[in-house]
Amino acid sequence: MSVTINAHQLGRLLARTADHIGDDLTPALHGIRLDADAEYLYAVATDRYTIAAARYRHHRPDSEDAAPTAPFAHTIPAPALPALREWIRTVPGHAPVTVTPDGTRLRFTAPDGELTLTTDPGTEFIDWRGLLRGITEQAPITGEPVFPALGTRLQARWQTADAVVRIHATGNHQPLLVIGEDFLGAQMPTRARRDGFSTGTDTDTLATPADVRTAWHDVLSASPATTPQTALPVPPQSPCAAPKTISEVTEDLLKQVLHSTQLLIAADTGEAMAAHATAGATAWAAYRYLDALHTADPHLAATVTAETADQLDDGAISEWAWDAAAAAGHDPHKWQTEAEQRSARRSLPQPVNT
């Protein structure tokens, strides 16, 4: 009856949905629902205006004969979430965390610790599957432009959903669908007349794109229409700046592999051949690792890529590497001594055969 995922993914499930928790006036919605089936662990939260559901494929049993995971669903009350999120931060991100229902409690077990929270599995949470299914299957409203009004306070909640989300709207008064990587959410539109798009009457003055063009026509007609690609300046790129996005790093690594291969073929000394071979092989390995990480966890891949770019731009990667080696239990002092000894041997005069 338990599921296992790594600590990083459990923390991310909570982070992607925490902004959507309902207030304590509705106890059933004042928390995050952890819901598990045979394949995924879900985290779900809603305040009736927005709903967010994130999922992660949990670890399958090692034995093919093992019984499938029995479904369970517990709501973690909002007051208990800070303790859980703090406990997760003390667990190494790659460490497995097993989530086990135990009556009215959920037990979280890591290799070096355990946390048990009291929940109420009988709390009547909404049928979130049925609700999201209804929203994904809602038919477009005909006879009106799709031009919904959205509360900006609610829109800010989606910044933790994913780095990029897709938006789908089918009508001015139907829920807006928000789609991310292993993420599904929705936001209720607001009533434009009630919330300010009016001139003291009961008429929405900006109900269609044509109304917007009319309202702004006098000022915008002073210039010809252009596109962002031609109107906005492109910031200069420093040739020494490290790439900061996954696509930039991927391009840079593959370019390095091909460039090193060409230089390897043209090298005229064994030392140069070894250097180009090492550079090409290292770039290819880095590309494969990044590609695998991006497939498993796009958010973590983007975060690591940006942090690595900052470290490269900082210029102190030897210090970063020294600290990382020591933290991993290696002996960087020994490595340095061995490198100095190899360098000294190369600098000795070679015997001349007579």
Dump the DSSP string for 163-187: SS-EEE---TTSPEEEEETTEEEEE
Instruction: Determine the CATH number of domain 3-118.
Output: 3.10.150.10
Q: HSE on the CB side for 174, CA within 13 Å?
A: 22
CA 88/CA 115 separation, integer angstroms: 9
* Residue spans in the chain of domains classed CATH 3.10.150.10: 3-118
Structure confidence by residue, pLDDT tens digits, 170-206: 988 899 999 998 999 999 998 755 555 554 455 667 7
What is the pLDDT at residue 195?
52
Higher per-residue pLDDT: 312 or 41: 41
- Within 8 A by CB and 6+ apart from 207, the residues are 147, 192, 197
CA 315/CA 332 separation, integer angstroms: 19
Structure confidence by residue, pLDDT tens digits, 64-119: 555 556 789 999 999 999 999 999 999 998 899 999 998 889 999 999 999 999 98
SS3 76: strand
- Give yes or no for a contact between 101 and 74, defined as CB atoms under 8 angstroms apart: yes
Closest CA to 186 of 173, 172, 168, 171: 168
**What are the distances in angstroms from CA 279 to CA 66, 97, 257, 272, 293?**
45, 37, 7, 11, 21
